[in-house]
Amino acid sequence: MILAAQIVILCLIAAAVLLGGFYFPYPSPLIRRWLPPRKRWPEMQIRGWLKSGKFQRAFLSHFYSDPERVAPPGNSMLAPADGLVTSADVRGGVRYLVIALSFWDMHVQRSPVAGKVISVESHGDGFMDGEGREFAFLREKTCPVQKRLVIATDAGLVAVRLITSLAARRIETWVNEGEEVTRGQRIGRILLGSTVVLELPATSKLLVRRGDRVWAGETWVAEGLTLP
């Protein structure tokens, strides 16, 4: 009886160790759940899935997660996406706040302001490699696949660009022209990857800097929206 129990315990441990070896260098299913997302699905593994087109179900479930967000009180503009601020340059009187999303970020975008959607435009015919490099999203023809939502507020216009990357598949927008949106409302989703650009008047005061991490519908990114 004791011998049988010992053998069972040793077999279970051996199976766990062998499972770890089988999945190495990626984490085995036994420890995966206790790791943070970036460690649970290393970038190299995700890039492998992008090539093969086969994804781990748990990863997709994480990727498509859409948690509830509570917009903080006030009138400041909110981040339209989860990610890292990679640029906040001004060009032609418009400030482009570029937010790069990683594979592990939540990919549902939210309205930065309350207002009326006055246009939902599709642009571009080629994919780009993420992060809005060199403002490629502003170029004609060579610009990446993107959707641009313009929202009119009492104090002026704000636009949100949803941009795909090489890894991205497509963009969904969940609001239509003429529709009223509230601050922090879901407006769309980029499927697999990419960049979101918030276009603001150059006069608006930024509350974030390059390198800051922001959360859609929760982080204040700018205030002082005024008519130009």
Partner 1 sequence: MSGFLWTAGHLGWGIFALSVFTGLWLLLSDFCWRLTRIRITRFAATMAAGWIVGAALILLGCYIASR
Return residues touching partner 1 (CB under 8 A). 2-3, 6, 9-10, 13-14, 16-17, 20, 27-28, 30-31, 34-35, 39
Backbone angles phi, psi at 18, to 5 degrees: -65, -40
Helices (H), 53-186: 57-63
Token pair for 41: 């699905």
Residue 98's identity, in one-letter code, is V
Minimum CB distance to partner 1, residue 28 (Å): 8
Of 15 and 90, nearer to partner 1 (C-beta) is 15
Q: Which of 76, 87, 111, 194 is catalytic?
A: 194
- R_g over Cα of the chain: 21
Token pair for 205: 């005061």
Of 9 and 58, nearer to partner 1 (C-beta) is 9
Of 42 and 156, nearer to partner 1 (C-beta) is 42
Measured distance CA(23)–CA(95) in Å, rounded: 46
Residue 156's closest CA among 203, 121, 109, 197? 203
Of 33 and 141, nearer to partner 1 (C-beta) is 33
DSSP 154-190: TTEEEEEEEE-BTT--EEEE---TT-EE-TT-EEEEE
- Examine the residue annotation and report whether 194 is marked as an active-site residue of this protein: yes
Measured distance CA(120)–CA(104) in Å, rounded: 27
Measured distance CA(63)–CA(101) in Å, rounded: 11
Supply the residues annotated as catalytic: 194
